[in-house]
């Protein structure tokens, strides 16, 4: 292995000068810098990260914590953040919670992040009261994306979830719907996620604004993925309460609901209108109307904020916009879905 001594000898300078020259520090004459750079290139020298870290106190790593990398929103944010971080010379340490509470606790309580990263990016992380102490004990700068739970002292990058939900439900109301079901996350698991609370509030605000009294029988909790959406729609149908539209908290849940509706022979949007929030990659493929949020942009902005020379600061609020496709239409004449035996013609 080529070490810094080798480069120093080759360039005829001290190791201190090599270190300064290679890192672009000032206080090195241009001529010397050139000589060092050439020597380093000639030898194929790369500084040992472990040694630099130990001596310099910086790890050059950023920890990215994400609930489930397999979900559209999270993978999109991570892709954008990873790109920006590598551009800025940082390595990315990935911590995927995989939906496991245990993984969350382990990450926060143990030293998994201590001394391993210079900064933390938490995407939609629900934090319990106890967790704040653990996070602040890390004494690391950080940023939250898509406001899981705001962390005191950390800036956040997010959308206005209340407005997004209001726009989604408002669109349905504008089409003439009044019996609008809501598929949401489990309040037990994710109470602390502001996004969930906000999207619930937006739903209620839109209804009230239109003079519609919210009906608790129309609100169903479920996991925020396909299976959860499918199960929630199933539960909704079992309740037997009439509805002409479904507002799902995210596109994946909406697509899950779509599966269930189809399985029951219900047509979308003829029998039931369906709207989500996200603008998932596959939303066009299933013709899903949704409120689009800029996922990649949130990842980029989070890195920008985190690496700002003046330190992470300021909250960023990004715009969303209603994207109308084929899954929403005026309600049918007869109120509520009719279970037909015919299975429809589209897969």
Partner DNA sequence: CTGAAAGCGCTTACAG
**Chain residues that interact with a copy of itself, rule: CB under 8 A:** 46, 48-51, 53-54, 59, 61, 64, 68-70, 72, 75-76, 78-79, 82-83, 86, 91-96, 98, 103, 111, 114-116, 225-226, 230, 252, 255-256, 258-259, 262, 267-270, 274, 281-282, 284-288, 325-327, 344-347
Q: Is 24 in the site for DNA (CB under 7 A)?
A: no
Distance CA 171, CA 335 (A): 18
Centre a 10 Å sphere on the Cβ of residue 9 and count the other Cβ atoms it contains.
Answer: 15
> In whole angstroms, how close is the CB of 78 to a copy of itself at the nearest point?
6
Q: Is 15 in the site for DNA (CB under 7 A)?
A: yes
Q: Which of 9, 10, 23, 112 binds DNA (CB under 7 A)?
A: 23
> In whole angstroms, how close is the CB of 164 to a copy of itself at the nearest point?
20
Nearest CB to DNA, comparing residues 4 and 224? 4
Binding at 4: pick from DNA, a copy of itself, none (beta carbon under 5-8 Å per type): DNA
Q: Is 112 in the site for DNA (CB under 7 A)?
A: no
> In whole angstroms, how close is the CB of 14 to DNA at the nearest point?
3
Number of residues that bind DNA (CB under 7 A): 30
Site map (CB under 7 A) of DNA, residues 47-66, x = contact: xx--xx-xxxx---------
Q: Is 13 in the site for DNA (CB under 7 A)?
A: yes
Binding at 14: pick from DNA, a copy of itself, none (beta carbon under 5-8 Å per type): DNA
> In whole angstroms, how close is the CB of 31 to a copy of itself at the nearest point?
26
Binding at 140: pick from DNA, a copy of itself, none (beta carbon under 5-8 Å per type): none
> In whole angstroms, how close is the CB of 115 to a copy of itself at the nearest point?
5
> In whole angstroms, how close is the CB of 25 to DNA at the nearest point?
7
> In whole angstroms, how close is the CB of 107 to DNA at the nearest point?
20
Instruction: Give the list of residues 6+ apart from residue 86 with CB closer than 8 angstroms, or none.
Output: 92
Nearest CB to DNA, comparing residues 137 and 208? 137
Return the closest-CA partner of residue 287 out of 244, 220, 230, 347: 347
Distance CA 248, CA 229 (A): 8
> In whole angstroms, how close is the CB of 38 to DNA at the nearest point?
14
Instruction: Give the list of residues 6+ apart from residue 311 with CB closer than 8 angstroms, or none.
Output: 141
Whether the CB-CB separation of 101 and 321 falls below 8 Å is answered with: no
Binding at 292: pick from DNA, a copy of itself, none (beta carbon under 5-8 Å per type): none
Nearest CB to a copy of itself, comparing residues 15 and 48? 48
Q: Is 117 in the site for DNA (CB under 7 A)?
A: no
> In whole angstroms, how close is the CB of 274 to a copy of itself at the nearest point?
8
Distance CA 23, CA 15 (A): 12
Q: Is 3 in the site for DNA (CB under 7 A)?
A: yes
Residues that bind DNA (CB under 7 A): 1-5, 12-17, 19-20, 22-23, 26-29, 31-32, 45, 47-48, 51-52, 54-57
């Amino acid at each position: 292995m080529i070490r810094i001594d080798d480069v120093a000898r080759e360039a005829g300078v001290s190791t201190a000068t090599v270190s300064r020259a290679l890192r672009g520090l000032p206080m090195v004459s241009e001529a010397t810098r050139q000589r060092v750079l050439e020597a380093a290139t000639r030898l194929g020298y790369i500084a040992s990260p472990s040694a630099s870290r130990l001596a310099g106190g910086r790890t050059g790593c950023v920890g990215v914590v994400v609930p489930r990398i397999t979900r559209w929103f999270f993978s999109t944010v991570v892709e954008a953040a990873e790109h920006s971080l590598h551009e800025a010379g940082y390595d990315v340490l990935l911590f995927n919670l995989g939906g496991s509470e245990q993984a969350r606790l382990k990450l926060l309580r143990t030293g998994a992040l201590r001394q391993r990263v210079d900064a933390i990016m938490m995407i939609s992380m629900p934090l319990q009261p106890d967790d704040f102490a653990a996070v602040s004990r890390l004494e690391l700068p950080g940023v939250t994306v898509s406001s899981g739970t705001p962390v005191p002292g950390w800036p956040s990058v997010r959308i206005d979830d209340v407005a997004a939900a209001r726009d989604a439900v408002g669109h349905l109301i504008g089409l003439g719907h009044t019996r609008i079901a809501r598929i949401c996350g489990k309040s037990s698991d994710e109470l602390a996620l502001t996004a969930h609370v906000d999207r619930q509030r937006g739903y209620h605000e839109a209804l009230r604004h239109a003079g519609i009294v919210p009906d608790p029988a129309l609100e169903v909790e479920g996991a925020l993925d396909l299976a959860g959406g499918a199960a929630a729609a199933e539960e909704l149908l079992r309740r037997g309460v009439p509805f002409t539209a479904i507002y799902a908290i995210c596109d994946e849940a909406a697509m899950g609901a779509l599966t269930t509706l189809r399985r029951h022979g219900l047509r979308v949007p003829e029998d039931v209108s369906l709207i989500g929030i996200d603008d998932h990659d596959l939303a066009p493929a299933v013709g899903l109307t949704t409120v689009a949020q800029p996922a990649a942009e949130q990842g980029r902005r989070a890195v920008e904020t985190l690496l700002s020379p003046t330190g992470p600061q300021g909250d960023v609020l990004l715009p969303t916009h209603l994207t109308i496709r084929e899954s929403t239409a005026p309600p049918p004449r007869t109120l509520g879905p009719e279970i037909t035996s015919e299975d429809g013609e589209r897969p």
